[in-house]
Amino acid sequence: MSQRSRRRVTAAARDRAEIFAALGDETRLLLVAKLCSGQLHSISELTVGSKLTRQAITKHLRVLQRAGIVHGVRAGREKRFEFDPEPMQEIKQYLDIVSEQWDQALARLKSFVED
């Protein structure tokens, strides 16, 4: 079930702006850093060491889930969260392409002004 719902979320169109916005917050970046370890974490584990309440952490996790960066997985009665690197990799790939195009254009400019 979790695999299937995960694929559905992955397949859904996501806005790049949503991903950037999700990561543009210190608390959420810290949550992502914790989840990056590859292990599943419960809300209690993610609340440890934070000044924020469980409710506040839950709210931040929801933002990350909407952006597709984090998935919730039900394990018995508890919900655990895991990190999904795919949306961030997609953005990186996109910027790599644009970057490559600029490299080519600037190389043409270089030979244009230096010849």
Partner 1 sequence: MNDRIEKRIELKASVSRVWQALTDYREFGEWFRVKLDGAFVAGEVSRGQITYPGYEHLKWEAVVQKMEAERLFSFTWHPYAIDPKVDYSKEPQTLVEFKLEKTATGTLLLLSESGFDKIPAGRRMEAFRMNDGGWTQQMKNIERHVTEKP
Backbone φ and ψ for 78, nearest 5 degrees, come out as: -100, 145
Residue 98 interacting with partner 1 (CB under 8 A): yes
What is the contact mask toward partner 1 in residues 29 to 68, using x (rule: CB under 8 A)?
----------------------------------------
Q: List the one residue out of 76, 102, 82 whose CA is nearest residue 39.
A: 82
Residue 114 interacting with partner 1 (CB under 8 A): yes
Find the binder of partner 1 among 2, 74, 86, 100 (CB under 8 A): 100
Q: How buried is residue 58: exposed, middle or buried, by Cβ count under 10 Å (0-12/13-18/19+)?
A: middle
Task: Kindly tell me which of 1 and 98 has the beta carbon lying closer to partner 1.
Answer: 98
Task: Kindly tell me which of 75 and 95 has the beta carbon lying closer to partner 1.
Answer: 95
3-22 positions binding partner 1, by CB under 8 A: 13-17, 20-21
β-sheet bridge partners, residue 81: 41, 72
Q: How buried is residue 98: exposed, middle or buried, by Cβ count under 10 Å (0-12/13-18/19+)?
A: exposed
